[in-house]
Structure 1
Amino acid sequence: MRLSTEKQQMIGVRTEEAKIVSLKKTIRTVGRIDYDETRIARVHTKIPGWIEKVYVDYVGQIVKKGQPLFTIYSPELVATQEEFLLALKARGQLVESRFEEVARGAESLLASTRRRLELWDITDEQIERLARTGEVQKTLTLYAPVDGVVLKRNAYEQMRITADTNVYEIADLSTIWVYADIYEYEMPLIKEGQPATMKLAYFPGETFRGKIVYVYPYLEGKTRTLKVRMEFPNPDLKLRPDMYADVEIDVPLGKSLVVSEEAVIDTGMRQFVFVDRGNGYFEPRDVKLGLKVDDHYQILEGLKPGERVVTSANFLIDSESRLSAALGGMSHSH
């Protein structure tokens, strides 16, 4: 097919070079933030007793590690502290004993009451204070073991609890999970370990960085989408469960030969481009397309790097060449 320079200018022919570039496909989806199910702390008390005071009194409350949750009054705790003070006193009196066994017995009684207090999470500092002041603590305060959000609360004043009572469940929010759905045709591109970025309307201008940690092995029936789970660090606890985010996953595709999407004519039966052979000659050439990335197509077969393809007015050239072919056919039939 040949077109004069004037004709090319008149219909607005433009060409570009088919070139090799590093391709990456960006998958965009919406993510829902959730807590990390592997980071749930359950708060139990190791001694039976009655709750005297509740400091954290609703589900959804954000707590910091070391923040008081509740205090418990336990007769057992009081009795063990009194035993400890008696054992301390006895050791003081019997340490000089001529009978070595008596001194050793006082020492082991003191060690065993101390061990019992330690098993109940009484700190060394609290035990030293008890030994120094001789003041028995009537109640024990339990503290949040992690920074996070309260998922369950089973603490009410005057309630009796035992070692079996699950008093609080706290989700550690220092790392959060994000669930997102990926379209079926994007499935081959998704792998565990791939980096992901996330933006939220709540925090304009901020980008959060995480990675895919799990790709679910099945499709959602109705939507034909694949669920993935990502993990993002959340050191300042800004990101909260049930927030929604715009997620992007960049998939590197390596180096590929590409042309602009405008260069490709797709008839539904075949895809082809017009190659500029120089001197006004244009050759229609079938191509095998790979992925469409932004506004470019990956070319798997049919073109070589450096060949020039028509990106503008190619439909006009196509109709012109069909017309020529038809006219040529007609003239042969006479």
Structure 2
Amino acid sequence: MARNETNKTAASPLRVAAISVTLTLLLAGGGAYFLGYLGPRDGHNPEPAAETATGGGERKIAYWRAPMNPTEIYDKPGKSAMGMDLVPVYEDEVGSTNAGGEAERKIAYWRAPMNPTEIYDKPGKSAMGMDLVPVYEDELVGGVAVSVDPVTQQNMGIRTALAKQEPLVFTIRTYGHITSDETRTTQINTKTNGWIEKLYIDFTGKFVDEGEPLYEIYSPELLAAQEEYLVAYQNMQRLTGRDNQGLLASARRRLQNFDIAPGEIDVIEKSGKVRKTLLVRSPFSGFVIQRNIEEGGYVKAGTMLFRISDLSRIWVEAHIYEYEFSWVAEGQAAEMTLPYQPGKVFSGRVSYVYPYLQPKTRDVVVRLEFENPDLALKPDMYVDVRIKSSSGRQGLVIPSEAVIRSGARNVVFVTRPSNKFTPRDVTLGLPVDGGKIQILTGLAAGETVVTSGQFLLDSESKLKEAVQKMLEAKREKIQEAEEIEEDFFEDMEEEDDFFRDLEEE
């Protein structure tokens, strides 16, 4: 019994020591694992990855970034702001803007020396007979190329389209308002002073036929002209002679100059009496669009009494912008629709393009002509106009949605081999039908551009470009430091030579 108690007492210090060593090892191993000194040697352990990447001499690490934030960049391995291991980014993943160390330069397209918008896909002669000039891809690059694997492309919804040479057809869509045809509009003016005894056109908008009565006027001048005519007519009846015939014709012309119809003059001849009022008839068929007299009112010579317009054909004044001016010419077909008659299309033509701009709206007015047999088109109506125009030439076009417009530049992404996408600066021309736009410079026919998902590519390209600029600045600083160090040692060597010369002396 005493022996057992003695053994237990001796074993207790050994057991305590063993437990202490075990706990110490566990704590040291956990701390080392937490600090990154232990663990699996894969991409999650930054230092071994760095050794693997640099030791093999195949892939070089450009920088380190946080796993959850690609903009959080470091120049050496460690922990991110969230406490996660940094991930290495290799130089072949970043790419380089320096094309000097790569293969020979690739030609994107050929252009005329005197006209950069004259583009060809192979060498030859320009329209002026000059040798075409090559345009290289590195001259057109507007950023850093981006590599995207096919699976990611599908997830991003990337779609592409070809740049093609097509006829430049442009449909101008604008607004306009209907006006009366000025060539079918007339004014009725009085040529003598007088009083309106009777008015036959009692409201504006009434339709009158040619020869229909307008008003009866009393005028002392007309009375005198009637008496003169009757005297000449009676003298002609009593004595037939050449002089009397001339006086009668002169008196008749005077009444006609006062807009008295020949029928009214014949009535005066038959009655042989002077009429107090004379009837004025309409010389034109149309609608009364303006009336400036009332029955019983006094009018002076030269006063406009009526304005009559034939609305069987009307004008439309459409407004276009300055950049659309070159697309419009007289004789082009035009279509018009009315908001209150959806689906009904009226066909007409461009009759005139005004040679000046409107000072307030800064646009150009184009006059269109439309037939209006059923009088459905009325003056001052607002209408929607489409003018389909063609310049008669071809141009390079791409879908308009492919262009990223930042305000300062216009960029498209061009597909390259090995699942790469390169940004290009392009010069835009005029928009054409089918949701497309003309490209003046920056692309060649047959190249493929990205039409969907290009904004994601643009953000990735800008991020890589920013990283490259940061790395280039860091390399420049390192190079400057190395140059300073080399200069320092060169100066030290010169001083050693100086003291050595002194010792020899």
TM range (shorter): 0.7 to 0.9
Question: How far apart are residue 54 of structure 1 and its match?
Answer: 0.6
Which position in structure 2 is the counterpart of 1:15?
A: 160
**1:235-250 mapped onto 2 (5 Å cutoff):** 236=373, 238-250=376-388
Q: 8 Å contact 2:403–2:412 — kept in the other structure?
A: yes
**CA spacing shift, 1:193–1:285, aligned 2, 3 Å:** closer
Alignment check: 8 A CA contact 1:45 1:165 kept: yes
Q: Is the 8 A contact 1:275 1:309 kept in 2?
A: yes
Paired AA for residue 30 in structure 1: Y
Aligned-pair CA distance for 1:21:
1.9
CA–CA distance in 1 between the matches of 2:340 and 2:359? Answer: 30
Please point out which of 381, 395, 412 is paired with 1:273: 412
Q: Cα offset for 1:303? A: 1.2
Map 1:140-159 onto structure 2 (within 5 A). Answer: 140-146=278-284, 147-157=286-296, 159=297
Letter matched to residue 170 of structure 1: R
Contact 2:227/2:274 (CA < 8 Å) preserved in 1? Answer: no
| 1: CA distance, partners of 2:250 / 2:464 | 104
Deviation at 1:55, TM superposition (A): 1.2
TM-score (norm 1): 0.72
CA contact under 8 A between 1:40 and 1:169: conserved in structure 2?
A: no
Change (3 A) 1:173 1:247: farther
Q: CA RMSD in A?
A: 4.1
Counterpart residue identity of residue 228, structure 1: V
The corresponding residue for 1:117 is: 255
**Residues 222-233 of structure 1 mapped to structure 2, 5 A cutoff:** 225-226=362-363, 228=365, 230-233=367-370
In the alignment, structure 1 residue 188 sits paired with structure 2 residue 323:
yes
What SS class does the counterpart of residue 190 from structure 1 fall into? helix
Cα deviation, 1:179-203, whole Å, max 9, x if unaligned, reads 5555xxx313226855554322345
Partner residue, 2:450:
310
Distance in 2 between residues matched to 1:89 and 1:238, nearest whole Å: 54
Question: How far apart, CA to CA, are the structure 2 residues paired with 1:167 and 1:136?
Answer: 30
| Distance in structure 2 (CA, Å) of the matches to 1:22 and 1:242 | 36
- CA offset digits 1:21-66 (Å, max 9, x no partner): 2234444333233456787633233455442211112345454444
Q: Measure the CA separation in 1 of the matches of 2:421 and 2:304.
A: 79
Quick check: 1:58–1:153 contact (8 Å CA) kept in 2?
Answer: no
What corresponds to 2:174 in structure 1? Answer: 29
Q: For 2:354 and 2:384, how far apart are their aligned partners in 1? A: 18
CA distance in 1, matches of 2:337, 2:246: 60
Matched with 2:129 is none
The yes-or-no answer on 1:289 pairing with 2:424 is: no
Work out which of the two has the higher radius of gyration on C-alpha atoms and give 1 or 2. Answer: 2
Partner SS, residue 28 of structure 1: strand
Code of the residue aligned with 1:31 in structure 2: it is G
2:400 matched to 1:255? no
Q: 2:354, 2:185 → 1: CA distance?
A: 19
Structure 1 runs not aligned, ≥5 long? 96-102
Other structure's SS at 1:275 match:
strand
SS of structure 1 residue aligned to 2:345: coil
1:110, 1:202 → 2: CA distance?
59
2:13 aligns with: none
Structure number having the greater helix percentage: 2
Is 1:168 equivalent to 2:168 in the alignment?
Answer: no
Distance in 1, Cα, partners of 2:157 & 2:372: 56
Query: Unmatched 5+ residue regions in structure 2?
Result: 1-145, 476-505
Indicate the structure whose relative CO is greater, using CA pairs within 8 Å and at least 6 residues apart: 1
Mapped partners of 1:219, 1:241: distance in 2: 23
Q: TM-score, length-normalised on structure 2?
A: 0.51
Checking the alignment, whether the CA contact within 8 Å between 2:337 and 2:385 is kept in structure 1 is yes
- Quick check: 2:208–2:282 contact (8 Å CA) kept in 1? yes
